[in-house]
Amino acid sequence: MIMTSNIRKLMLTFHVTASIGWAGALAVFLAHSLVSLSNQDPAVVRAACLMMGITAWFVILPLAATSLVTGLVQALGTAWGLFRHYWVTIKLLLTAFATAVLLLKLTPISALAAAAQTAVSLQEFAGLKLSLVIHAAGGLGVLLVTTALAIYKPAGLTPYGARMLGTRSAYIRNSGSAAGLPRWVKGFVAASMVLLLVLIVMIMHGGHGPGAHM
């Protein structure tokens, strides 16, 4: 069902606010994780670890969930649809992926924050702290891509979107070629494959994958 103009604007307001807030909160989390990894003062490190737990659970998680849900509502309640345009589908997948990684990391983040409240040395958590730095930086990169997609809305109908319009010519016109994918989608797929290989290497040799340190 297509939303009315007022409801659409309201959902858009929630979505934009949550998405920008998510990126800002993740930047704060990254700053805290860098401090926890590099600072030599135990009191400062413990404070940073505690703030990481609070930020992750009470700021980043609600904003990520709000961004994902309102994004779904926006897509389903407007003419854009979920699977008609490549940019909408890719943005949804990236948002869902970032949210899934966040959920996987909440348990080790909580463990680190709990350890910071005890006399346990945080030196043994060096691997986890490095992993959190890497994932926070990677998450910011993903959110930057989703923001760029929302702003530029690069052309490109999916095959489903072309069928919905009922014209093969519309698909060719929007994709730029009769062969299939738009050039920017091909570039995105290529970059994703490279990042996937990097992630596999991280998991095999460094233990820094999304599910590590659980």
Residue 14 has pLDDT above 90, yes or no: yes
Place of tokens 């460094």: 206
Residue 7 has pLDDT above 80, yes or no: yes
How many other CB atoms sit within 10 Å of the CB of residue 7? Answer: 12
Residue 94 has pLDDT above 70, yes or no: yes
Determine the pLDDT at residue 179: 47
pLDDT digits (tens, 9 = 90+) for 101-138: 999 999 999 999 999 999 888 888 999 999 999 999 99
Which residue type, as a one-letter code, is found at position 139?
A: G
CA distance 72 to 141: 21
Q: Which of 24-28, 81-85, 165-169, 181-185 has the lowest mean pLDDT?
A: 165-169
Helix (H) or strand (E) run with residue 84 in it: none
Determine the pLDDT at residue 166: 72
CA distance 102 to 61: 7
Do 69 and 99 meet the contact criterion of CB atoms below 8 Å apart? no
Of 102, 133, 98, 114, the C-alpha closest to 206 is: 133
Over residues 207-212, the mean pLDDT reads: 59
Burial of 189 (0-12, 13-18, 19+ CB in 10 A): exposed
Residue 211 has pLDDT above 60, yes or no: no
C-alpha torsion sign, points 16, 145, 98, 155: positive
CA distance 87 to 148: 10
CA distance 185 to 156: 8
Determine the pLDDT at residue 13: 97
Over residues 70-81, the mean pLDDT reads: 92
Of 105, 85, 108, the C-alpha closest to 97 is: 105
pLDDT band at 207 (very low <50, low <70, confident <90, very high): low
Q: What is the domain partition of the chain in residue ranges?
A: 5-206
CA distance 32 to 45: 9
Q: What is the dihedral of CA 193, 205, 127, 19, to 10 degrees?
A: 10
CA distance 151 to 145: 10
Residue 175 has pLDDT above 60, yes or no: no
CA distance 118 to 207: 25
Do 29 and 140 meet the contact criterion of CB atoms below 8 Å apart? no
Over residues 35-40, the mean pLDDT reads: 94
**pTM for the full predicted model:** 0.86
